[in-house]
């Protein structure tokens, strides 16, 4: 097995013991990027190779800096990295080279990671297909004609293609879960507040998006989650957390798992997705879990309306100034911003009341079930040359993002969710399921994921690059 195929857990163990040098790993990483990134276009803004090799050599000759010592990581292009081109996928920031790290980059750097560049993302992270006018399209390593998803499509594709062993992502509307499913890797949306965002602008009102880790194993996810977790005293909603690494597999025997399927038909699914999800449920059954179908616990329509209002309100707060200045924005950014600006305070309050009602209904479910499961996506990876699907299973989509509706019951409540691979469909394309629980159940979900991974190891089926 080559270095670029190994897990972060094994690489870090060898880096810590001295059996592997950071220089050797960096050399192999750069060679792998050179070999495959031209076809996938997942890493953008790659730093100078000689500079990176020098940083790796300094790691080898210096003291151990932390749990990520000597590990190369590319940071999602929605986070500032000092001295590295950071565009947010927008022409507005095509020449932006920040002087300071955002918090997630700073925490990874302090833990010893070598930040090698950025991973591609859609413009301002909007939509689950990674393309933008600055860096172009990121393609799926399992089929280069297909989308890698988004907005963490670059992160997921980097992992699938073996360019790095760990990646950071972010998730508002499935932005790390959907790409994880489409790239046959794991993505973890933590409990909202576990991983702090940047301490700027409003830090009280908006609770939809969160940063999170991505990897090829749940054990690796736990390592990065510990690095980026923990409260920031400048923000009001952070939580003190216990470490989850090193992660041990749970004993799933006797766990009661609720299967929500297509939410009683509310979420149209392309052919074959529910069947493949059923295979993943079968694995959990063989591990001793009791899988029970669950009727729709809340109105999908009410969740959707609450979501699109709260999302547009939040997105508009960040983009309204650009729109007012006449900046060139993509159509989905304009749509979100104009919707958000048209909302009244009472519209936002009404949406949050519905969110509160759904939270109470979900809490009642978790009195019965240890975890709940939904498909991670409603469509297979689609043509990389279209912006988004306009219909799903014959049903027309009303917005640019309605085809992602299956992720929002989780996002709306800030619940933790682990996206796990479920295998491959008839066309050889990956898909997954999302296992979620109440706020604070992060460690339990990851431990269940570790047991599932031990029984499946889907990421070992590498893409044909």
Q: What angle do CA 227, 147, 181 make, to 5 degrees?
A: 50
Q: Are the C-beta atoms of 172 and 166 separated by less than 8 Å?
A: no
Q: Are the C-beta atoms of 165 and 193 separated by less than 8 Å?
A: no
Could you say which DSSP state residue 433 is in?
A: E
Residue among 165, 119, 127 nearest 149 (CA)? 127
Q: What angle do CA 259, 260, 261 make, to 5 degrees?
A: 95
Residue 299 contacts by C-beta under 8 Å, 6 or more apart in sequence? none
Residue written as token pair 């809340």: 298
Q: Are the C-beta atoms of 220 and 8 separated by less than 8 Å?
A: yes
Token code pair at residue 293: 């179908």
Could you say which DSSP state residue 91 is in?
A: G
Cα–Cα distance for residue pair 132/122, rounded to 1 Å:
5
Cα–Cα distance for residue pair 318/93, rounded to 1 Å:
14
Could you say which DSSP state residue 383 is in?
A: B
Cα–Cα distance for residue pair 15/397, rounded to 1 Å:
49
Q: E strand or H helix at 445, and its extent?
A: helix 442-456
Q: Are the C-beta atoms of 182 and 149 separated by less than 8 Å?
A: yes
CB-count burial class (<10 Å; 0-12, 13-18, 19+) for 48: exposed
Task: Tell me which residues are annotated as active site.
Answer: 76, 151, 175
Please state whether beta strands 417-424 and 430-436 pair in parallel, antiparallel, or not at all (unpaired).
Answer: antiparallel
Residue written as token pair 């001793």: 288
Q: Are the C-beta atoms of 460 and 317 separated by less than 8 Å?
A: no
Cα–Cα distance for residue pair 219/7, rounded to 1 Å:
9
From start to end of 13-163, where are the E strands? 43-44, 72-76, 114-119, 131-132, 136-137, 139-140, 143-147
Q: What angle do CA 34, 39, 41 make, to 5 degrees?
A: 80
């Amino acid at each position: 097995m080559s270095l670029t195929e190994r897990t972060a857990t094994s690489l870090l163990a060898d880096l810590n013991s001295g059996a592997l040098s950071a220089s050797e790993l960096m050399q192999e990483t750069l060679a792998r990027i050179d070999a495959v990134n031209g076809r996938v276009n997942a890493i953008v803004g790659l730093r100078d190779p000689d500079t990176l090799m020098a940083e790796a050599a300094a790691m080898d000759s210096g003291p151990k800096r932390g749990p990520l010592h000597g590990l190369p990581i590319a940071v999602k292009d929605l986070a500032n990295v000092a001295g590295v081109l950071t565009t947010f996928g927008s022409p507005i920031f095509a020449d932006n080279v920040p002087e300071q790290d955002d918090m997630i980059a700073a925490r990874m750097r302090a833990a010893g990671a070598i930040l090698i560049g950025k991973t591609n993302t859609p413009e301002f992270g909007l939509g689950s297909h990674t393309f933008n006018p600055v860096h172009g399209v990121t393609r799926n390593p399992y089929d280069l004609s297909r989308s890698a998803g988004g907005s963490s499509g670059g992160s997921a594709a980097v992992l699938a293609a073996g360019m790095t062993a760990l990646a950071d992502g972010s998730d508002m509307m499935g932005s790390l879960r959907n790409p994880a499913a489409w790239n046959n890797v794991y993505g973890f949306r933590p409990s909202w507040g576990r991983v702090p965002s940047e301490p700027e602008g409003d830090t009280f009102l908006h609770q939809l998006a969160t940063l999170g880790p991505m990897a090829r194993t749940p054990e690796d996810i736990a390592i990065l989650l510990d690095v980026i977790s923990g409260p920031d005293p400048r923000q009001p909603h952070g939580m003190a957390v216990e470490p989850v690494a090193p992660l041990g597999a749970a004993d799933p025997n006797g766990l009661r798992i609720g299967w929500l399927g297509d939410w009683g038909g509310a979420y149209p699914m392309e052919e074959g997705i529910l069947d493949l999800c059923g295979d993943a449920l079968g694995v959990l059954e063989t591990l001793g879990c009791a899988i029970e179908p669950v009727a729709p616990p809340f109105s999908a329509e009410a969740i959707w309306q609450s979501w699109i209002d709260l999302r547009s309100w939040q997105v508009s707060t960040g983009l309204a100034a650009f729109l007012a200045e006449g900046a060139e924005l993509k159509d989905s950014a304009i749509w979100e911003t104009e919707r958000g600006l048209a909302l009244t305070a009472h519209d936002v309050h009404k949406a949050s009341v519905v969110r509160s009602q759904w939270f109470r209904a979900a809490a009642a479910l978790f009195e019965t079930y240890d975890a709940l499961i939904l498909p991670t996506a409603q469509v297979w990876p689609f043509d990389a040359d279209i912006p988004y699907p306009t219909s799903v299973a014959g049903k027309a989509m009303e917005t640019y993002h309605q085809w992602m509706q299956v992720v929002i019951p989780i996002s709306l409540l800030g619940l933790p969710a682990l996206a796990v691979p479920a295998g491959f469909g008839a066309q050889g394309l990956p898909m997954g399921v999302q296992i979620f629980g109440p706020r604070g159940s992060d460690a339990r979900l990851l431990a269940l994921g570790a047991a599932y991974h031990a029984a499946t190891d889907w990421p070992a089926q590498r893409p044909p690059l």
